[in-house]
Amino acid sequence: MARRRDARRNRERLLAAAREVFAESGASAPLDLVARRAGVGRGTLYRNFADRSALLAALFEERLGLLEEILAQGADDVFEQLVVEICWYELRMPGFGAVLTSLPMLTNPDLVRVTRATERLLVEALRRSVAAGLLRDDLVPGDALTVIAMLNGVIIAGAGGAPDESAALRALELLLDGVRAAGRVGAPVPAPVLGPQP
């Protein structure tokens, strides 16, 4: 029982450390930094997460749960809100957006599962917002990930690998106007409800 509690505590410490390290240095930061920040050895890290993909999957799954809560609230503008949340998450955790749009190249089953679930979530949000008349009626399911890929392209293009927040927010504004119904072009960009930090 105590061993299970210790294992759970170590996993939570590793996830908290990964959030901090990846926010500071991006999703490709050395995993040794994560272990050191958590105050555990490399063996403990790899017992909990076999590789970087497993760790990313666990972090992404946490965020996915929060995005699912937004969808469940039933707002018609849910697609815009989810895009905003993903944008801010990628700004604070450079490299995560690339994971979402690279499904064909993924091999870790947990990461594939979470990425597919996120894709389904975005497609459902797109469908709901189109049906409510808030988005263009010619959008198709694949456009959901296209929007994320375009946004990610701007975010990762920051000089020296650091995301350019002002460029990303301008891209977000332009992308949302590009998918909105004609009468909504120029509407304010929703504020992130999950906060900018992961």
Domain contains 54: no
| Mean per-residue pLDDT over the chain, rounded | 86
What is Dmax (Cα atoms) for the chain? 60
Same domain (yes/no): 31, 67: no
Query: 61-65: long-range contacts at Cβ-Cβ below 8 A with a sequence spacing of 24 or more?
Result: 61/110, 61/114, 62/15, 63/89, 63/194, 63/198, 64/114, 64/117, 64/118, 64/121
pLDDT at 77: 94
Structure tokens at 94: 């450079």
Q: Are 31 and 69 in a shared domain?
A: no
Which structural domain range is residue 194 located in? 59-198
Residue 1 has pLDDT above 80, yes or no: no
pLDDT tens for each residue of 61-109 = 888 888 999 999 989 999 999 999 998 888 887 766 666 556 555 677 8
Measured CA to CA, the distance from residue 198 to residue 193 in angstroms comes to 12
At which residue do the structure tokens 């801010």 appear? 88
Residue 196 in this model has a pLDDT that exceeds 70: no
* 6 and 67 both lie in a single domain: no
Task: Describe the crossing of helices 78-92 and 52-72 by its angle, rounded to 10 degrees.
Answer: 150
pLDDT of residue 159: 46
The larger pLDDT score, comparing residue 159 to residue 35, is at 35
Q: Do 70 and 168 fall into the same domain?
A: yes
Q: Kindly indicate the confidence band of residue 2, based on its pLDDT and cuts at 50, 70 and 90.
A: low
12, 28, 49: which is the final residue of a domain? 49
Are 56 and 106 in contact, with CB atoms under 8 Å apart?
no
User: What is the CATH classification number for the domain harbouring 30?
Assistant: 1.10.10
If asked whether residues 13 and 71 sit together in one domain, one would say: no
Q: Indicate if the pLDDT at residue 153 is higher than 90.
A: no
Query: Greater confidence, 79 or 8?
Result: 79
82 and 161 together in one domain: yes
Q: Is residue 4 part of a domain?
A: yes
- Place 24 in a pLDDT band, splitting at 50, 70 and 90: confident
Number of domains within the chain = 2
